[in-house]
Each structure stands twice: as structure tokens, then as C-alpha cells.
Amino acid sequence: DHIEWKDVPKMDYMSQVIKEGLRLHCPVPFIQRQLTQPADIEGVTLPVGTFCTIHLLNLHHNPEVWDDPWTFDPSRFHPDNIKDKDTYAFVPFSAGPRNCIGQHFAMNEEKVILGRLLRKFNFRLDPSHKVTRKVAAVMRAENGIKVFSTP
């Protein structure tokens, strides 16, 4: 009934499901950085001090990066399928020197909590409640998400 620390690294498919959920519904839809050195992008030089916004929601749904980007498909994150992707194609916790220091803890915590819940309950969405995405500094559902659980 318990998930031990040694079990967490074995939860490969759970990792794929969580990552695909984060890709489809990234918790932070955009990040902003200020350049500390000039950057050349396709022949245009951006000077020091320029603010750059990276739209993670768009990146994670870019059809040039992800086939059928609005479809939930955890197999995208199978090691054989992700190995050739650019390391910056999926960045739900940001990337580089200012990434989320708690991202590994968050992933492990999600695996344990979801693993324990899914062992005890079945979940289904309330079909009468429409879930609408609200894009804000932190992504959320406009009017919540209603689910039913049964043992």
C-alpha cells in the first residue's frame, strides 16, 4: 500500500504521463528574461538589457516540434522518442541557470501522490462541466475541474 523511495525511479510510465500533462497544460505559460549579453537571432542582434519572453505554452504545442501537439500522448516521453528532441523543446520548469530548483522533488512528489491515489480510486471528469483554460502568470482552469472518484 506504500510507495517506497526505491519504487519512484521505476515509475517510468508515470513519469511519461506527468510530463505529457505538463506539456499540454504547463503550469507557467511563459517566462521572461533580460539579456546580459547581446544575442544574435537569425541575423538580428538584440542588445544587452532587452527583455525576451518565451511562450512555453506555444513551445509545448508547436507542430514543428511536436506531432499532433494537442493530443495527449505519454509515449512522446518514452526514452526512444525523446532522445532526439532538442533539450529546450520541453521546459515546464524553465531551463538553464534560473530553472526551478525543486523540479526533481516536484516530479517525485507527483509520482508518489498519483501512484497512491490511483491504487485506491478511479477518476472521471464530470461530463456536464466544461473545463476552460485560463492563461495567467500561473495556468489554471477558469471554473475549476470537477471529477468523480470511486473506490
Instruction: Please tell me the predicted confidence (pLDDT) of residue 1.
Output: 66
**Contact by Cβ (8 Å): 20, 77:** yes
**Contact by Cβ (8 Å): 147, 126:** yes
Backbone angles phi, psi at 133, to 5 degrees: -75, 135
Instruction: Please tell me the predicted confidence (pLDDT) of residue 102.
Output: 83
Which residue positions in the chain have pLDDT lower than 50? Answer: none
Please state at what angle helix 103-120 crosses helix 12-24, rounded to 10 degrees.
Answer: 110
For the stretch 11-17, contacts whose Cβ atoms lie closer than 8 Å and that sit 24 or more positions apart, written own/partner, are 11/111, 11/115, 13/74, 14/111, 14/114, 14/115, 15/77, 15/107, 15/111, 16/74, 16/75, 16/76, 16/77, 16/78, 17/74
* Calpha distance 138→23 (Å, rounded): 14
Dihedral (Cα; 121, 122, 126, 132), 10-degree rounding: 90
Q: Which of 119, 108, 122 is nearest to 2 (CA)?
A: 119
DSSP letter, residue 25: T
